[in-house]
Amino acid sequence: MKQIIFLRHAKSKWNKHFFDDFNRPLAKKGVMDAILMSNYLATLTRKIDLVLSSSSQRTKETLKHFYPGNFESITFTKSLYHADKKFIMKLLANLDSKNNVVMLVGHNPGLHEAVETLSKHKITRFPTCALALISFDNPWERIEEKESTLELFLKPSDLR
């Protein structure tokens, strides 16, 4: 069985006078939400084989607050910044078969659309720092051939 944890970056600052979009840091609420979601993820006791993350400042800062013992490997890539659903699906289809649990950290709307496509569930909102856990039985290269299961969709507000 393969599993994907989709994580949207935590809430960031919107001061356009000091930051361009790519370099926006987390807001205080974002830091608190990242810690909250990290603590929950740690209770799932899943070993994450690979983390693929946008290299934006807010995704890096989000991951900084996550339990590092869960991660075998982290790859930051600018290609996940503004990645659309098609790119995300292709990225997942090309993963090495040795990776059973993968975490993808990125941005909307691509992340939201990829989760809806894989899970066949309409998700009204995919807010900052929300996570979705999807499982499926196919190998990565056949990720779109069979329906996947949305095991969990969790928002920080669900834990407060």
Question: Which residue ranges make up each domain of the chain?
Answer: 2-159
What tens digit of pLDDT does each residue of 89-121 get? Answer: 999 999 999 999 999 999 999 999 999 999 988
Packed helices 28-43 and 57-64: angle between N→C axes, nearest 10 degrees: 50
Whether the predicted pLDDT of 45 surpasses 70: no
Distance of CA 128 to the CA centre of its chain: 10
Q: Can you give the C-alpha Rg of the chain in angstroms?
A: 15
CA-based torsion, 87, 157, 102, 104: positive or negative: positive
Whether the predicted pLDDT of 83 surpasses 90: yes
Contacts of 125 (CB under 8 A, 6+ apart): 155
Q: 3-class DSSP state for residue 159? A: helix
C-beta atoms surrounding 149 within 10 Å: 16
> What is the pLDDT averaged over residues 2-20?
87
Whether the predicted pLDDT of 15 surpasses 90: no
Residue 153 to residue 148: CA distance in whole angstroms = 14
Q: Which helix (H) or strand (E) holds 105?
A: strand 101-106
- Specify the pLDDT at position 43: 87
In CATH terms, the fold of domain 2-159 is: Rossmann fold (3.40.50)
- Specify the pLDDT at position 69: 64
Mean per-residue pLDDT over the chain, rounded? 92
Task: Give the pLDDT band (50/70/90) at residue 18.
Answer: low
What tens digit of pLDDT does each residue of 118-144 get? Answer: 998 899 999 999 999 999 998 999 998
Task: Give the pLDDT band (50/70/90) at residue 47.
Answer: confident
- Name which residue leads in pLDDT, 33 or 1: 33
Q: Which helix (H) or strand (E) holds 30?
A: helix 28-43
- Name which residue leads in pLDDT, 113 or 47: 113
Whether the predicted pLDDT of 17 surpasses 80: no
